[in-house]
Chain A
Amino acid sequence: MEILAIIIGFVVTGILSFVLRNRRLTEGLSLAVTAVGLVVSTLVAYRVSTSGTYEPFSFISVDSLGALVMLLVSVVAFFVALYAVPYFRKETDKKIIDDRHVRQYYALSAIFLAFVLSTAAVSNPVAAWIFLEATTLSTVFLISFYRRSSNVEAAWKYLIVNAVGLLLAFFGTLLYFTSVAHGGGVAGLVHWDTLAAHAKQLDPAVVRIAFIFALIGYGTKVGLAPMHTWKPGAYAKSPAPLGALFSGALLPVAFLILLRFKSITDVAVGPAFSQHLLIGFGVLSIVIAAFSIFATEKNKRLLAYSSIEHAGIMALGFGFGGIGVMAAVLHMIYHSLVKPALFFLTGNMLLRYHSTYIADVRGAMSILPSNSVLYFAALFAIVGFPPFGMFLTEFFILSSGVTTYTVVVAVALLAMSVAFIGFFRHANAMLFGEPPRGIEKTKTSPWLLVPSAALLGITLFITFYTPPFVQTLIHEAVGKI
Chain B
Amino acid sequence: MTGDTGLIQACIAILCLTTVGLHVARKNRNEAVLYGLQSLAVVSLFVSALLEHYATPLLIVAILTFLVKVVLAPLFFTKLVKRHGLKFAASTYTNVPETAAGLVIILILAGSGIFAPLANLVPGHHTFLVMAIAAMLSSMLLMINRKGALSQIVGVLSLENSIVAFAVLAGLEQSAILQAGIVFDVSVWLVIAVSMVSLVFRHHGSLDTSKMKSLRH
Contacts and interface: CB of A to CB of B under 8 A. Distances in A.
A160 interface: yes
Contacts of A148: 203, 214
B193 interface: yes
Query: Interface residue tally of chain B, by bracket?
Result: 35 or more
A1 interface: no
B189 A137 contact: yes
Interface string B160-191: 10010011001111110110011011001100
Interface in A265-284: none
A206 interface: yes
A137 B188 contact: yes
Interface stretch (A89-97, A172-180, A440-448): A172-180
B175 A233 contact: no
A171 interface: yes
B172 A178 contact: yes
Contacts of B86: none
Contacts of B203: 148-149, 152-153
A358 interface: no
B115 A209 contact: yes
Contacts of B193: 159, 163
A156 B171 contact: no
B172 A177 contact: yes
Nearest to A150: B214
A20 interface: no
Contacts of A205: 116-117
A414 B214 CA distance: 33
Interface stretch (A5-13, A33-41, A126-134, A307-315): A126-134
Given A159-B193, A177-B172, A127 B178 contact: yes
A379 B187 CA distance: 42
Contact of B178 (A178, A182, A189): A189
Given A152-B203, A156-B149, A156-B209, A209 B215 contact: no
15 contacts: A124-B178, A127-B181, A133-B189, A134-B188, A137-B185, A144-B196, A150-B217, A153-B204, A156-B149, A156-B196, A156-B199, A167-B163, A177-B172, A178-B170, A184-B52
**The 9 nearest A-B residue pairs measured at CB:** A205-B117, A185-B173, A150-B214, A149-B214, A130-B181, A149-B203, A184-B53, A153-B212, A152-B203
